[in-house]
Structures are given as structure tokens and as C-alpha cells.
Amino acid sequence: MTSRYVFRFQDGRADRREILGGKGANLAEMSRLGLPVPPGFTISTAACRDYYREGRQFPAGLQEEVDQALEELEGTLGRKLGAARDPLLVSVRSGAAASMPGMMDTILNLGLNPRAGEGLAQVAGDRAFALDCQRRFVQMFSDVVLSIPHKLFEEILAARRELEGVKHDRELDEEALQAVVEGFLSLVREKTGRPFPEDPREQLRLAVRAVFESWNNQRAIIYRELHGIPHDLGTAVNVQAMVFGNRGSDSGTGVLFTRNPSTGETGLYGEYLLNAQGEDVVAGIRTPRPITELAGEWPEVYAELERYAGLLEAHYRDLQDIEFTVEQGKLYILQTRAGKRTAAASIRVAVDLVGEGRISREEALQRVDPESIDRLLHPAIDPRARLEVLATGLPASPGAATGRVTLDSDAAQALAEAGEKVLLVRPETTPDDIHGIVAAQGVLTSRGGMTCHAAIVARGMGKPCVVGCEAIHFHPDGGGFRIGGEPVREGDLLSIDGSTGRVMRGEVPLVQPDLSPAFRTLLEWADAVRELGVRANADTPADAARAREFGAQGIGLCRTEHMFMAQDRLPVVQAMILAETAEERGKALDRLLPMQRGDFEGILEAMQGLPVTIRLLDPPLHEFLPDPDELETPDDKRRARALQEANPMLGHRGVRLGISHPEIYAMQARAIFEATVTLVERGIDARPEVMIPLVGLEGELASTREQVEKVAAEVMAARGVTFEYLVGTMIEVPRACLVADAIAARADFFSFGTNDLTQTTFGFSRDDAEAKFLHCYLNAGILKDNPFMVLDADGVGSLVRMAVEGGRRGRPGLKIGVCGEHGGDPASIAFFHQAGLDYVSCSPFRVPIARLAAAQATLQGREAWRAGV
């Protein structure tokens, strides 16, 4: 079959996912491996892209190729789509190159109409089964293609269950199902003004178009934006012969993972339902059974599943997420893909696969998303806490969360945007709830299993999630629910533990997590590979100790102004600022000196043997003062008003403050060096680095360096102790980058302050930009990323490269790092590696992220070199 757009499963391979999409490529690969895959064909991503280029019309030749592929499929199976006798039915599923589970649309049982329904009933010998397939098809097709809300059909179904006195859909008899189908068809006519389409080929054409359209539905767009997936890839469409898990007690369907996607433990993990189709498992409509029970119920099928799971994991060398259906005792594999997993599982699986000899350490390092590590470094419930446990559900995604109960995703988003922490509580979630899940601290559902929509999406986002909490009973009129007999209203505080499934009343105390052995192993491998050093930004001994525990190789930024904000110091700082004479200021500085000395002694001791870069006072003095009208004396009010500035970001701050008020920097330098001497006398290896902020002129650094060196010499002479120290500068204004060679002649090191460098390069005030217009730039595509979160490589990055080259030209071997927020961003870290920096510095909790990202940057650089890029 020669084709531009359509490919039979047997014609594809796993390495053609850009054309076939992930699902289509894997179906082709499994077919090639000889697994029991129902036959079918894939409409390529190119067809979707051309569909949009042609103004949302099928491109020329596509319909003819689909018709030809369908005829070949009918010939292979000896059945015709929608025929009156033994009809062929198909599923129509999306499948982009990048996995987007649940974000686009699927239609099952396509090809049914009254005539084909009778034919299916005859060949199956079960009219109730055929009617069940028909009601599923009408509901899915109407929702996806005709845009009739899913809930309207659910209301008809629920009313019939109540009338018949049954709990589950599968308990409805033939007569009840016939009434449901008729109700569905009447609803379609009412909402559309025309009958439900009965021509199977027209159904297929409309379904393919609907899947193309689903590429740009709201939830798919949001998902792509969250995960950095390009919007121009398009989705493939997979048309596959149906197999039926709803054909009775010897049929069923399920989802399994080859390892536990929450913990990474080995062994099959998943769920199944008897007499059900695939959407029943993932939609959370029925609570499924653990896959381990299948071993006792269908030992032969379970043994086959184990064999295929092992084969697929060995073939793909990764944890697999497998969908299967059993039709009258025969097993079919419908899909495999790399399984979505928690950060903890991602790390354990990668490390275990190395231990099993399946992948290399380098591959393991590249298998783990550095950003995902952040999810392991946040609090869990304190085990000593006394908890009011209301109920227990299924532990779908680990971590703890507290929030105010919200029953609606739109409300969750609105409250979160207003600064409220919310917990999204629903019977079950659907793909339309993605914005509510994003906004919530965690998710709690009354229905669903470990592979339902809420569980999968929450795990992917690192959100705590508890599902299948059947003790929850929602009030019919809305506004709240009862859980374990206890009333809960919207706005009440609840907590969940996604690791145990517990649901608790009120707010719970949290504790810091421990790093697992696999986590430590992976980071040790990263440290052996990476070329960039990793330091931390820390302002207290506690922060420094935490940073060291996370593997920081020093402190890259200690902000002294944060120390001034303590309540016992602020009055002294304010007295220093408002002093009218040098004598008054000197007295205030004398009081601050021992406080600062104690600060520096604690941090230097916590980081003994490692460098500590201490930035001298940076912000303008008025930031330490209250509103002038709140001051007591007229003189204080006058002085405070005199300190106010029209543009403080570019005003009297940083080195400018040190030059106009040298006594302030002199006090800080003395505190640093006296703390150093005290530690040296105790045998502690203290390594201070004094950093002068906001330098743009060589003379600024020369003047302040001379002052710092003078104080150091005085302290050494007074105490009779020598010590090593460095004096360097922050590079955070464009002029410093332009004249870096001259500034480097006076500096022992450079450290990029990329927050201010971004502000001064763009001419943006960060607070104003993010609050007022930056979102417009991002939405319009003027900027790809927020430049304060991901370094602007073209603009700010060019200045960084210029400063690195100039600095090392002026002072060969100059040590250069970055201490801005970008030092913890993986994409920015890759740039800093390429630019030749020596280290990055970030918040303590970002240190493990930076360690892994730096290793990945090294490995990617080696790959590029080997490829000749």
C-alpha cells in the first residue's frame, strides 16, 4: 500500500513515532513482534497538520487512502464495517508523538446502527451485549463528534438504573438497555435536530475529523503548555478492529504497569474489570479489581500477561503501561507506552534497570526529569501527629496536601488565583477538570481506581491524590458531602495523604522528607558526570545545613539584607539609616556588628571546608523603613522621605551604597573576617568570599575592594591570624558585561545576578512585568518563556557569553558562577554549561535538581560533540 497519510500497523515501526504518533508506532512495533494486537491502520500526524493548513478540511487524497485501508482491513478479517451480518466494528483513537493521556478523544464500537446491532446480537448470541455496545457508541460519538454533553446521557442511564433498582450498568437487562438506547437517540435528535448518523463510513469520517479537532481542545492545549509540548505536532488517528471485553463473564479489560508507577517496585501492578470496556477502567465509573486477583481468576490469561509484559519491558527497556482486553477467554494487547510514573518511581526504575544490566548509568541519568525531583523534596505528614481520619481511599499519588474543599474545577482555579489553597473533591475527574487539578493542592474522588483519570494526571503533576473513597456521599443539591457519616461543606479544611489513602479533617502537620537510597545513588552518578559545580543560596545556618545535606558544594549567595529584617535587628538598622551624623550611624553599626558576626560565624561553620559567597548590602536603605507617616518624629519622617526614590531598582543601592556610605560595607567586612578568625582559631576551615553587588564600573570595584582588603588586614593584625578570602563581584548590569575584561582585573570571581541582569537588559521591572503584561507576551508567543524563570539565551545569554569571554581575557582562569534564580532551572543550567561557567547556585531545595540537570547538560554536550554539532 503506497500512501502519503495512512499506514497499516504491519507497515510501521517504533522509531516512526513522529509520523505515526506514539500509540500508532507502538501498535506497529507490537504487531511486528508477533503480539496479539487487533489489526488496523494509522492516519499520520502529517494528515492532521495538513487538515489545519487546509482550513480544517481533509487534505486531498486522505479520504481515498482511508477507504482503501478500511477495505484491506475488511478483507483481512472477512467482515464489513457496519454489515448486517457479523459486522466489523472499530475503535478510533488519538495518538500524538508525545504522550498526552486522556487529553484527546476516543470513540469505541464505531460502525453500529440498528441493522449492524442486530447482526452483532446474532453472531454473539446476546442481544443485551449488542445493545450495551450501541449505547456506549451513541454516547461517546455524540459527546466527541456532536458536542452533546456526556452528563446528559449519564442522567438517562442513571434514571434507568434507579427505575430498574440496580447499581451497575451491567445489571441492566435487554429491555432496559433498549430503552436506554432509544432515550439516547431521542436526545440526539432533540439536541441536533436530525437523527443519529447511521452510515458507518460517514461515522468514520466524522470521528477522524473529531480526533483532529481534539488536538486543539482546551484541555489538550493546557496539557501541552504544562509539559512543554509544541502545538504544531498534530495527532495521529488509530483505527483498529474492536475486541469486546463486555461480552460476558469470560471477558474483561484492564490496564497494567510492568512495575509500580508510584514506587517503582518490580512486579505487575494494575487493575481490571470483568464484562467491561476500556473506558470503564480509566473513567472511574466502576471500582476495578487489583491485577493480582486475575492470577486466581484466569491463571492462563495472567501467565500470558506476565510473559507479554516482560517481553515489552525488555524490548523497550523501560516501565510499560499496557492496555489489554480479554474477549471470551482470548487475550489482546491494545496498547503499550512508557508508563507515567511518580518522581520516586522514575528514579528507582532508572537505578534498578542499571542494576539489571538493561541500561547504562548515562541513560539512567537522562531518564529522570530534573524538575520531577522537586516533588520528592517537600513535606509529608508528621508521623507523630494526632489525626482525625474520616475515611480511607486508594493511594493514587503520594504526598500530603491540605486545602479548603472545592467541588468545582472552575471555582478551584478562581480560588487558587486569589491565593487560596484548595482541595479538589469530585465523584471522579474527567479531562475537562485539568485546570482544577492544576490549581488544587491535591485531588480526592469518591470513585475510580489506581489507573483512573485523576490518578494518572495527578501522578504526572506530582499532586497528592486519593481516589475511590467510597465513604464520600455527595449531597444531591450540591454544596458538600458526607464522609464516614461526617458532614463536609465547601470551604471546610481537609487533608489527604496520597501515600496511604487517608482523608483527614483539618490541617495536618508536615515533616521534611528523606532521600531514598536510589535517589542518592542517582545523584552520585550525576556528580561523577557533571562538570558544573552546584552551590546553594542560603542566608541562615539552617538553610546552609540543609543545602549541604542536599549536596551543595558551597554557598553561592548569602544575602546579608535578609539578616537585617529580623525583628530584634530592624530597629537598630532603622536607627543606622535615619542617623543624622556619622557618630550616630557609627553607634548603630557597632550594635549591628556582633549580630552580623554571629550570622556569618554560623553559616561559615555549617559550610566548613566549602566556599561561602557573602553579598554585601544590596537593596536601597528605604526598604528597611516603614511608611514615613508611621515614624514618630518629624526629623525621621523628613529623612525617610528623602531616601525615597522614583526608580529604586536603578537607584541608590548595591555598590553605590557602599561608596556613599563606606562605613556600612566596612562593618559587614569586619563581621565576616572576625567570624572567620574565630572559626580558624577553633580549627574550622572557613572560606569566605566577599561579593560586591551591582558593579558596572572598574572604579567601583577597585574602591570597595581596597576597603575590604584594608579591613581584612586590620583583623588579621589585631588577632594574629591569617586566612584566605576572595573578593569578587556580581555581574548584573549590561555595562559590566561589556567591560568585563577591565572589571575582571580587580575581581577574584564573577557571579551573574541574572534576575537584575534580565531586568536591566529588557528594561522590565519584574514585579510590574509579571503582574501586568508578561502573560500577554507569553500568550501571544512574543516570548516563549518567562525570562525571569528560563534564561533568555539570545539576549541576556549573549551578554553572559560576552562577560565570560571578556572576564577570562582580563583575568585568565577567572572563577565564574551564577546565583540568580536561573541557577536552579534545568534549561538555563544547560546554557550555563555551554557558556563555560564553573558553577550554578540555587535555593537549597533546587540543589538536587541542579546536580542532575548539570549532569544531563554534560551528557548532551558529549552527544552533540560526537554528532559533530
For residue 674, the cross-strand partners are none
For residue 752, the cross-strand partners are 731, 818
The Cα–Cα gap between 605 and 238 comes to 62
For residue 467, the cross-strand partners are 394
The Cα–Cα gap between 662 and 708 comes to 10
E strands in 72-169? 90-96, 106-110
**CA nearest to 613, candidates 823, 759, 851, 767:** 823
Q: Residue 796: what residue type?
A: V
State yes or no: is 737 an active-site residue.
Answer: no
Question: Which position among 452, 469, 819, 842 bears the catalytic label?
Answer: 819
CB 243, CB 325: distance < 8 Å: yes
The Cα–Cα gap between 10 and 6 comes to 12
Alpha helices in 165-285 (DSSP H): 174-192, 200-214, 218-227, 278-282
Q: What are the cell numbers at 499?
A: 501515600
The Cα–Cα gap between 529 and 862 comes to 11
Q: Going by DSSP bridges, is the β-strand pair 6-8/40-43 parallel, antiparallel, or unpaired?
A: antiparallel
Question: Which position among 48, 133, 452, 453 bears the catalytic label?
Answer: 453
Distant-in-sequence contacts of 151-160, Cβ < 8 A, 24+ apart:
152/187, 152/191, 153/184, 153/187, 156/180, 156/183, 156/184, 156/187
CB 523, CB 848: distance < 8 Å: yes
Q: What are the cell numbers at 387?
A: 489525626
* Kind and range of the H or E run holding 695: none
CB 179, CB 187: distance < 8 Å: no
Q: What are the cell numbers at 178?
A: 433498549
CA angle 160, 165, 169 (to 5 degrees): 55
In eight-state DSSP terms, residue 77 is H
**C-alpha distances in Å from residue 329, one per residue of 544, 760, 770, 776:** 61, 69, 59, 56
Distant-in-sequence contacts of 705-714, Cβ < 8 A, 24+ apart:
705/746, 705/747, 707/658, 707/662, 707/665, 707/666, 707/669, 708/665, 708/669, 711/666, 711/669, 711/670, 711/673, 712/669, 712/673, 714/670
Residue 781 makes CB contacts below 8 A (sequence gap 6+) with none
Torsion of CA 841, 842, 846, 852, to 10 degrees: -30
Q: Hey, is 5 helix, strand or coil?
A: coil
State yes or no: is 776 an active-site residue.
Answer: no
What DSSP string describes 753-776?
Answer: -HHHHHHHHHT--HHHHHHHTHHH
- Alpha carbon 719 to chain centroid distance? 53
Q: Hey, is 435 helix, strand or coil?
A: helix
**CA nearest to 453, candidates 279, 320, 288, 291:** 279
**C-alpha distances in Å from residue 571, one per residue of 13, 560, 566, 629, 658:** 71, 16, 9, 16, 21
Q: Residue 10: what residue type?
A: Q
The Cα–Cα gap between 312 and 636 comes to 75
Q: What are the cell numbers at 356?
A: 539489571
CB 534, CB 839: distance < 8 Å: yes
* Kind and range of the H or E run holding 395: strand 394-397
Question: Would you please indicate which residues are annotated as catalytic (active-site) residues?
Answer: 453, 819
